[in-house]
Amino acid sequence: MPDSKFNSYWNLIMTILLLYTASYMPYRISFIDTVTVQSIIFDCSIDFLFICDIIINFFSTYEDSKAGLVINLKKIALHYLFTWFFFDVFSCLPMQLLEIGNLNQD
């Protein structure tokens, strides 16, 4: 449900992760040349949480202007597939794995 405690906490976690991704990642890509195993593991764990968010979105109700609160799972899935699904999947791709060639094992 949109007003559940789980949904509120989950949205807060996703907001924090998005702020991290939007602020620190461009800095790291631009100015930090060394890549450590720890940073790759941390970034992959963030990507995993974003993948979990995709799964959760397939079960999260939404409000439709005509029907009110939509709880039908098929309608929820179709709505998500035709709105944010492909943006979310693309954003979850672990781009940091491309940096493995530059891995510095200090």
Give pLDDT, residue 40: 81
Cβ distance 58 to 77 under 8 Å?
yes
Q: Residue 31: is it exposed, middle or buried by C-beta count within 10 angstroms (0-12/13-18/19+)?
A: exposed
> pLDDT digit of tens for each residue in the chain (106 aa)?
777 899 899 999 999 999 998 898 888 878 887 778 888 888 889 989 999 999 999 998 888 888 689 889 999 999 999 999 998 888 887 766 665 655 555 4
Q: Is residue 28 part of a domain?
A: no
Residue 58 located in a structural domain: yes
- What residues make up the domain containing 95? 1-10+36-100
| Global confidence as pTM | 0.79
Is residue 20 a part of any domain in this protein? no
Report angle CA 87, 90, 92 to the nearest 5 degrees.
Answer: 110
Name 89's Cβ contacts closer than 8 Å, sequence gap at least 6. 54
pLDDT (0 to 100) of residue 97: 64
The confidence score (pLDDT) of residue 2 equals: 72
Q: What does the pLDDT read at residue 81? A: 94
Tally of domains in the chain: 1
Nearby residues of 43 by Cβ (< 8 Å), 6 or more positions away: 94, 96
